[in-house]
Structure 1
Amino acid sequence: MPLLAPIRSLGLRSSLRPAIRRLRPAVETSQICRYASTKHPKNFKPPTQDELEELRERTIEFTRREITHDVAQATDHKNEFPLDMWQKMGEAGLLGVTADEDYGGLSMGYQAHCVILEELSRASGSIGLSYAAHSQLCVNQLMLNGNEEQKAKYLPGLVSGERIGALAMSEHNAGSDVVSMKMTAKETDGGYLLNGTKMWITNGPDAHLIIVYAKTEPEAASKGITAFIVDTTEASGFSCARKLDKLGMRGSNTGEIVLDNVFVPTSNILGQINKGVRVLMEGLDLERLVLSAGPLGLMKASLDCTLPYVHERKQFGVPLATQQFIQGKLADMYTKYRASSAFTYSIARAVDESYTNPEIRTQDCAGAILYAAERATECGMDAIQCLGGMGYMNEMPAGRIMRDAKLYEIGAGTSEIRKMVIGRAFNREFGMR
């Protein structure tokens, strides 16, 4: 695939957006009045395959220039996110793919979001994960649930990369069982005081804006949770207790955050009071769908590092790639990627093409990330095995890819929870709880 001209010189925010406009006509006035979807940005129109391929090529161009092997390795080895990457991604237009153009976004959909996350994760799983927490968990949640004042105030800075976003739901004793969260929000003059801790928060150590879930009526269980927009730059009492030292996704800065009498004005309630679970569920299926593209990128990365090595490395006088055991692993890795990719993009396409009344099936979104995550870990292990002794060395990316892939079997709902979710979705269809 030939390199294209640098992204910044062509657009996306100064590059992809104008390029996309050249690929398809501007939306007609009648179409502007048509907008009824609550899941897609204003003036959304399903992208063509040519547009998605153009987006993919431009994202690859960005990663080749900005997320080199050395950058990816340093991010992992130092356990530090390259903070200048946020502005670079913002300038490239990658941070607001599902945001309205009014706020600097691309007004594209979930196929496009998957394309970008896949290629970023191919270059660096850590950078891809932090991107997803910002662009999907924070930006897209604001797009789905924010009022006009909230979106106008916060989205431009998030889309430009000037501000970093996150979402805080999990706690020490409330991971899969989110309803058992202990963080409280007590009503006071003009707003609420938030108290408690949140754990395993991606982008937590760096975030300027965090969507935080807290109990406004603790005795009401799931019907007493509210989502709040917390501006950490103005929140007295907010702190990151510690940055976490993880097995994988190192450099995707993850922390334990503490809110000690943090005042949040009523205007920063996201959605309705005591309807936080609805806000959460509004984006959860789409979160699973988009995040399933992260493992796709890691599977491609596994092939990227394995294929050249086994064709150059000789044992018994012939390249490793001529050995049937190695060929079998390569065939399995490739087939797992292609099957996972077909699953993810078929669901994303269905969501985009049904945009006037989006068809979003829980079992499809949970199934996509369940399947892709487990296959990505297997591909990472196979990459290490194919590289042999070199695969076990930290100078090679195979070990990093495997460690990164494992996170997708745990974060955003474990594989076990995803299976339960799929089973319960079928039960609901048959009138059972």
Structure 2
Amino acid sequence: MDFGLTEEQKMVQDMARNFAEKEIAPYVEEDEENHYYRREILTKMGELGLLGWSIPEEYGGNGMGWMEAVTALYEIAKVHTAWRLSISGNCWGPAMTINEWGTEEQKQKYIPDLVSGKAVGSFAMTEANSGSDVGSMKTFAADKGDHWLLNGSKMWISGGHASDLGLVYAVTTEGGGPKGLSCFIIDYNNTPGITRIPITKKVGMWTAPTSEIVFENAMVPKENLLGPVNKGFQICMWMLNNTRMGCATGAAALSAACLEGSVNYANERTQFGQQIGKFQMIQQQIAEMKLEDDAAKYLVYRAAWLKENKLPSQQATSMAKLFGCNAAVHAANMAMKIYGSYGYSTEYPCGRWLRDAKQFETLEGTSNIHMGIVAGIELGYQPNR
């Protein structure tokens, strides 16, 4: 595996970096303070093709794959990790899943708006009592002949109340567990019976909308079933193996942001007549951060390379996500120490880094779940998809 960037990939990297510095960086602190989701950034991402990775050009895709995608996302998430959710919420979630499992009519109807940024996308699995155990969800879709009737609620849905369309996973065969779930495409703007409640009391990710979604006799057209009935669990696991790349890449990028900020601060701050970077304890912290940061980044590239070459990637994706979240949390902790009292001040980004890092340990599979996936595949208890 050669992870040296091609000239085209370097152009993608520069474009994403310039976009993040110009369109995201100036508003980070203001939007954090106001817990504000700047919708126009998603539109601009779509206009630049930053939402069209691994999507056929006939549906608006950008003609590029996983390696270019993680390279671009890394630059965006390094500036503000909350914006990595847009690529998962629009591209690697709904758009890619519809492209894999959808009918031609569904592909033409929904994918272009997702990859252009015209629509905000989302996917809803988690419920108040159903997180890691996806098969235990209670939201139910009843077959009413000419439509499905959806009842239940979803919790902690990224993009939720801002979403225009998304995927919702629900029970279609009562008592069937994982074999009784199906996936539906939901048009949130034109489906009565849906209430979306913003979740504002969060430790971090303040600029990313998160919601509870309640379905009360929501009528879903028959043609909005994605894939076969009762294949929802299979579709969901396939999707998660893609969207978890967003978590892995975002975590690695956050680790890099912490390292870069800590190096700059260690070279600027002086104590006892010298830069604090000259003290061995600070050097040890920087060295630990550098080792973990590089490892996290290369695990992301390895998983992306496997996906690009259509090779089994589930274990590699879980490894990248698991190690990346550990690296991000450790780097954020180290940054807080290196910055000293200023790290505890909102003048500096250390608090945001630490708040945002912690969510990687639970989002899209807890660290325990990913530990189990990595070990289970290694022990031969489950296949490496």
TM-score range, shorter chain: over 0.9
2:77 corresponds to which of 105, 118, 121: 121
SS at match of 1:218: coil
Residue in 1 aligned with 2:371? 419
Matched, 1:388 2:340: yes
CA shift, 1:429, in A, is 5.5
Which of 56, 59, 62 aligns to 2:16? It is 59
CA deviation digits over 1:180-236, x for unaligned, max 9? Answer: 101000011322010010000000010000100000111211111000000001100
Distance 1:120 1:191, change over 3 A: same
Q: 1:162 to 1:309 in 2, by over 3 A?
A: same
Contact 1:56 / 1:119 at 8 angstroms: preserved in 2? yes
Alpha-carbon deviation of 1:380? 0.7
- Which amino acid in the other structure matches residue 203 of structure 2? L
Identity across aligned pairs (percent)? Answer: 33
Confirm or deny that 1:347 pairs with 2:338. no
* Equivalent residues of 1:47, 1:108 under 8 A apart: no
Per-residue deviation, 1:430:
8.1
**Does the aligned pair in 1 maintain the 2:302–2:316 contact within 8 Å?**
no
Output the CA distance in 2 between the equivalents of 1:98 and 1:405. 27
Distance in structure 1 (CA, Å) of the matches to 2:238 and 2:84 = 22
Q: State how 1:239-388 maps to structure 2 within 5 Å.
A: 239-352=195-308, 354=309, 358-388=310-340
Aligned equivalents of 1:262, 1:316: Cα separation in 2? 66
Partner of 1:49: 6
What's the counterpart of residue 228 of structure 1? 184
- More deviation, 331-340/176-185: 331-340
CA deviation profile, 1:369-427 (whole Å, cap 9, x unmatched) = 00111111100111111111111111211110111111111101000111112222234
- Larger deviation, residues 422-431 vs 214-223: 422-431
Give aligned pairs, total. Answer: 381
The residue that corresponds to 1:218 in the other structure is 174
**Which of 164, 169, 178 lines up with 2:134 in the alignment?**
178
- CA distance in 1 between counterparts of 2:4 and 2:178 reads 37
Task: Output one character per residue of 1:117-159: Cα deviation in whole Å (capped at 9) or x when no partner.
Answer: 2111111111222432222222222222222111110111111
| Distance in 1 between residues matched to 2:189 and 2:14, nearest whole Å | 36
**Secondary structure at 1:185 match in 2:** strand
Q: Counterpart of 1:17?
A: none
Return the alpha-carbon distance in structure 2 between the equivalents of residues 310 and 316 of structure 1. Answer: 13
Give the aligned partner of residue 164 of structure 2: 208
Counterpart in the other structure of 2:54: 98
So what's the TM-score if we normalise by structure 2? 0.95
C-alpha deviations, 1:221-269, integer Å up to 9, x for none? Answer: 1111000000001100111123332101111110001111111111111
Kindly provide the amino acid, as one letter, of the partner of residue 355 in structure 2: R
The more displaced of 196-205 and 125-134 is 125-134
**Code of the aligned partner of 1:386:** I
Q: Structure 1 stretch 236-245 or stretch 172-181: which is displaced more?
A: 236-245
Letter matched to residue 50 of structure 1: E
* CA distance in structure 2 between the partners assigned to 1:195 and 1:430 by the alignment: 33
Q: Which residue does the alignment assign to 2:109?
A: 153
Tell me the equivalent position of 2:151.
195
- SS of residue paired to 2:365: coil
Q: TM-score, normalised by structure 1?
A: 0.85
Alpha-carbon contact 1:185-1:214 (below 8 Å) kept? yes
The DSSP-based 3-state class of the residue aligned with 1:252 is coil
SS in 1 for 2:264: helix
1:329-384 deviation line (CA, Å, top 9, x unaligned): 111111111111111102211221x2xxx212322211110011111110011111
Letter in 2 for 1:250: W
Out of 324, 328, 352, the position equivalent to 1:400 is: 352
Considering only aligned residues, what root-mean-square deviation do their CA atoms show, in Å?
1.7
Describe the superposition over 1:258-303 as per-residue Cα deviations: whole angstroms up to 9, x where unpaired: 1111111111111111110111122222222342100111011112
Contact 1:205 1:254 in 2 (8 A): yes
- Is the CA contact 1:129–1:249 (under 8 Å) kept in the aligned structure 2? no
Task: State the Cα deviation string for residues 9-41 of structure 1 (Å, max 9, x = none).
Answer: xxxxxxxxxxxxxxxxxxxxxxxxxxxxxxxxx
Aligned-partner SS, 2:166: strand
Structure 1: give runs of 5+ residues left out of the alignment: 1-45
